[in-house]
Structure 1
């Protein structure tokens, strides 16, 4: 899929959020600002970090803040660890001949120390650190290393990483392991979103042999007010759709539908009515090229409140007519239109 990968560092390859949060709170404390907890920090922190500090500590020179931060970060007792699947992903890239680079805003001395301590230096052709605004450097990297934009992806965990990829006309790959929540990342419109780097590896692996179609179930779920449940997910390019998933071996379609809806939404359903089957072959909307057989149902919510798992980022209860005004994936649009036209028994 890609011949070149440019990685962010913090939150993408290593988990340094604990000492970063600790150091940030120490900096805020110098100026009498209360500390933040982890989730508040994830919601507010952004790059370029000069914008974050201008919001938190307006008027304080960035150079002054950097002195406090470097001292606090180097003295923090909070651990930094390599994220799960990161080392395996880099080894896989090396075995596949994929060229790898790092572009990070992290302080250069701290970055080089982590790079050596974790034994990751040998995986990268070149690294670029201490870059406050990555958009100012990304084009230089492409030119210096003769990287074709169409063969290159930028992999990161923050909206600034997605914006940097868009700026250079690269494929943007958002990972959900770091500093930014899935919902905020979705607003930046990455081309691909993966749970972690193992998901990216699996996405990039070339299938061997002739892959068979994958049978799935999904339901347009109605509540007592005649509204239907729409969920937005990164798997479908941040478009809206319906809950559903794969049928497991030995499981009938009706049981799979109940299970998938429960796992993805926390809802219990009843009275599923089969509506239609759709072929979905290598859709540009889906996160990878795949042939799905979509078994679509209409079902009624019986109990529970919507509690999304990590496959979806947002939900809405809407009338079918209102739902058609959303940015829907095409199979969901066809399903709703079929239901509105009376295409159910």
Structure 2
């Protein structure tokens, strides 16, 4: 199965997702979700349970988790609570296995990469700067709104346009179905990794390659370039 965006074209630029892809933040995510559960009177869950219910739109996901409809006030309260607890634990998150070495290898081969995240831009940039990742990316885009941010496809389209990239030359690497939907809508390739908040069984219906690590994803793309 080809991962390049266009027929007969292998991807030479990677757009990376952040949370759950380059950043292993699963423990912080589950802890923040459990803070929400406690506030709304639900028993705590583990990562495997969260993977069974996670989906977008997030409000519907939380309604299934909490087994109740959420008013606008509920949703705003939940959103603030989740992010407060997540931020408190963000320092415990680690880079995914293979990061940054695999990214350095990709750049050393004369290829390019960028970062597109739905995490808040004004927090993302200082974090990747502290982790000494910023020089690896041609461009970094995070979420520039306080809550939500719409479909990822809109952000991906803007991200590519700003870099004057052809979708056929690009592959998006992410960890959720929304990444595959965005790639399909914009016309890029896509590889999904099982390192985040969705299981392999949930990812495979997207019809794109699903692998278990960053090194596996890059090996798949590199093999296609060499073919």
Determine which of 45, 50, 56 is the counterpart of 2:59.
50
1:40 is the counterpart of 2:58: no
Maintained 8 Å contact 1:48/1:132: no
1:102 is the counterpart of 2:118: no
TM superposition outliers: structure 1 runs of 4+ over 6 Å: 287-290
Any idea what the Cα deviations from partners look like across 1:236-281, whole Å, max 9, x if unmatched? xxxxxxxxxxxxxxxxxxxxxxxxxxxxxxxxxxxxxxxxxxxxxx
CA distance in 2, matches of 1:54, 1:107: 23
Partner of residue 87, structure 1: 100
* Superposed CA RMSD: 2.3
SS in 2 for 1:150: helix
Give the deviation of 1:19 after TM superposition. Answer: 0.7
Partner of residue 320, structure 1: none
Partner of residue 124, structure 1: 137
Maintained 8 Å contact 2:59/2:70: no
CA distance in 2, matches of 1:28, 1:134: 26
Q: Which has the higher strand share?
A: 1
Give the deviation of 1:55 after TM superposition. Answer: 3.2
Aligned residues: 209
CA distance in 2, matches of 1:39, 1:153: 28
Q: Which has the higher helix share?
A: 2
Maintained 8 Å contact 1:152/1:171: yes
User: Would the alpha carbon gap of residues 7 and 48 (structure 1) be closer, same or farther in structure 2, given more than 3 Å must change?
Assistant: farther
Determine which of 187, 206, 218 is the counterpart of 1:188.
206
**Which structure 2 residue ranges, 5 or more long, are not aligned?**
1-9, 144-148
Any idea what the Cα deviations from partners look like across 1:157-209, whole Å, max 9, x if unmatched? 1111111111111111111222211111001111x222211122323336xxx
Normalised to the residue count of structure 2, the TM-score between the two structures is 0.82
CA distance in 1, matches of 2:170, 2:90: 37
User: Would the alpha carbon gap of residues 48 and 193 (structure 1) be closer, same or farther in structure 2, given more than 3 Å must change?
Assistant: same
CA distance in 1, matches of 2:120, 2:205: 28
